[in-house]
Structure 1
Amino acid sequence: MKTFEKLLLENKAWAQDKVTADPNFFERLADVQKPDVLWIGCSDSRVPSEIIVNAEPGEMFVHRNIANQLIMTDFNSLSVLQYAVDVLKVSHVIVCGHYNCGGIRAALKKQNPSLLMVNKWLKHIKDVYRLHHQELESLSSEDDRVHRLVELNVIEQIYNLAHTSIIQAAWKREQRPTLHGWVYGLNDGIIKELINLPPGSEINPIYQYTEESA
């Protein structure tokens, strides 16, 4: 059986199980989505967002990309953020990275000339490395550097979120959302919180928007 055929069969089995347990499940789910959480995670196939937190369909609005980044020129990520914050009115935004991330590991190496688009994406992680070069190079092994850069990248993405007009305006108007930086362990399946920024958290003035803009 081909992989895609197995997926289709598993889908039918999953849907039947849901209806058996709750006959109105899909009718209720199709009515409206009211997630309380925006999840920004890595595209890595080993880190399925809903599964690792045991969330049901409808509980989280999910965006995933290589190395869980929030880049200011990426309209895809920013449109997801704006929709989640301004339309869905989520109370929490979670950026969840994971240890032994392939994107982070690749960013610590020289650029691959055959991966032009990937290079452009990973450049932002290289910038995080540059900011923390001394700390990272003081670590004794490549794995230690990868794990620490995973953490630093998550923290940087939380500040990237706080630096957007979308988050600053929501903080001012509605005192939400809280920003959470998490990291997931592939070896044990446990999530660790690295940073938490509640509404109104202090940010560097050069990233603040004026009253008219926010």
Structure 2
Amino acid sequence: MIVTTLKPLLAKNRSWALQRRQRNPDYFKKFLHQQKPHSLWIGCSDSRVPAEVLTGSHPGELFVHRNIANMVLEEDDNLLSVLQYALFFLGVTRIVLSGHYGCGGVEAALNLPGSGLEDQDSALARRIKRLRDDIQSGLATETSPEARLDRLVEANVRAQFARLVTSEPVRQIWQSGQPLEVFGCVYDLRSGHLKELISQSAQEPCL
């Protein structure tokens, strides 16, 4: 028996599928046997920032990984397996790492001292504590609360970007000479606009 609360989602799904078939009878057949996305999107799990919606993408265009505060951690097998699959099996040539203003994960990291998470040893608490370490240098910024959170969101994107471009899968692709562009972006909930903060298209030489 289908739970009642699922019915609205199923109804919207049927309506969406019908609209797509009416516009193009072969819409679903196109991606039935393969996928060839041009980009990997690494974003936040926040329900207000769905990658396909805010980029106007169609099925088959984006390979997506989302987690709290769009973090890139070397011990995160989930993210690393997505990254490896996207690069070596799907052949994506672009990675977009996107944070967003108003990020609840960054705000939780900012307010960690004295919060309920501070003394916990849970998956969420460990991630937020790691996130606080990543944005530590920006915590002392003297500005308005909203502007401060915005700067910390950007600091988090830059911290995760630095970890992403030195990850083993990305370094292997660049060392092989294959084209790959990596972008660090932030999405503005207030305007709906996505903006670029940082980018890299080749491995930087060791000093």
TM-score by length of 1: 0.89
8 Å contact kept, 1:181–1:196? yes
Q: Which residue of 72, 75, 78 maps to 1:73? A: 75
C-alpha distance in 1 between matches for 2:19 and 2:141: 52
8 Å contact kept, 2:44–2:67? yes
8 Å contact kept, 1:175–1:199? no
1:211 matched residue in structure 2: none
2:161 matched residue in structure 1: 158
C-alpha distance in 1 between matches for 2:49 and 2:186: 11
2:180 matched residue in structure 1: 177
1:115 to 1:186, Cα distance in 2 relative to 1, 3 A? farther
2:15 matched residue in structure 1: 13
2:135 matched residue in structure 1: 129
Structure 2 unaligned runs (5+)? Answer: none
1:35 counterpart SS class: coil
8 Å contact kept, 1:34–1:59? yes
Among all aligned residue pairs of Structure 1 and Structure 2, give the percentage whose two residues are the same amino acid.
Answer: 39
1:143 matched residue in structure 2: 146
Residue by residue over 1:13-52, the C-alpha shift from the partner in whole angstroms, topping out at 9 and shown as x without a partner, is: 0001111111011111112100010000100001111000
1:25 counterpart SS class: coil
One-letter code aligned to 2:161: I
Q: Kindly report the root-mean-square deviation, in angstroms, between the aligned alpha carbons of the 2 structures.
A: 1.7
How far residue 188 of structure 1 moved from its aligned partner, in angstroms, is 0.6
C-alpha distance in 2 between matches for 1:86 and 1:183: 26
Q: How many residues align?
A: 201
Matches within 5 A, 1:96-111: 96-109=98-111, 110=113, 111=115
Residue by residue over 1:106-157, the C-alpha shift from the partner in whole angstroms, topping out at 9 and shown as x without a partner, is: 0011252467221101122111222x14xx4232222222111110111111
2:43 matched residue in structure 1: 41
8 Å contact kept, 1:38–1:62? yes
C-alpha distance in 1 between matches for 2:131 and 2:179: 27
C-alpha distance in 2 between matches for 1:48 and 1:101: 14
TM-score by length of 2: 0.91
C-alpha distance in 2 between matches for 1:137 and 1:203: 32
One-letter code aligned to 1:91: T
1:117 matched residue in structure 2: 123
2:151 counterpart SS class: helix
8 Å contact kept, 1:162–1:203? no
Residue by residue over 1:158-177, the C-alpha shift from the partner in whole angstroms, topping out at 9 and shown as x without a partner, is: 11111111111101113332
1:2 to 1:185, Cα distance in 2 relative to 1, 3 A? farther
8 Å contact kept, 1:137–1:145? no
One-letter code aligned to 2:167: T
C-alpha distance in 2 between matches for 1:138 and 1:43: 26
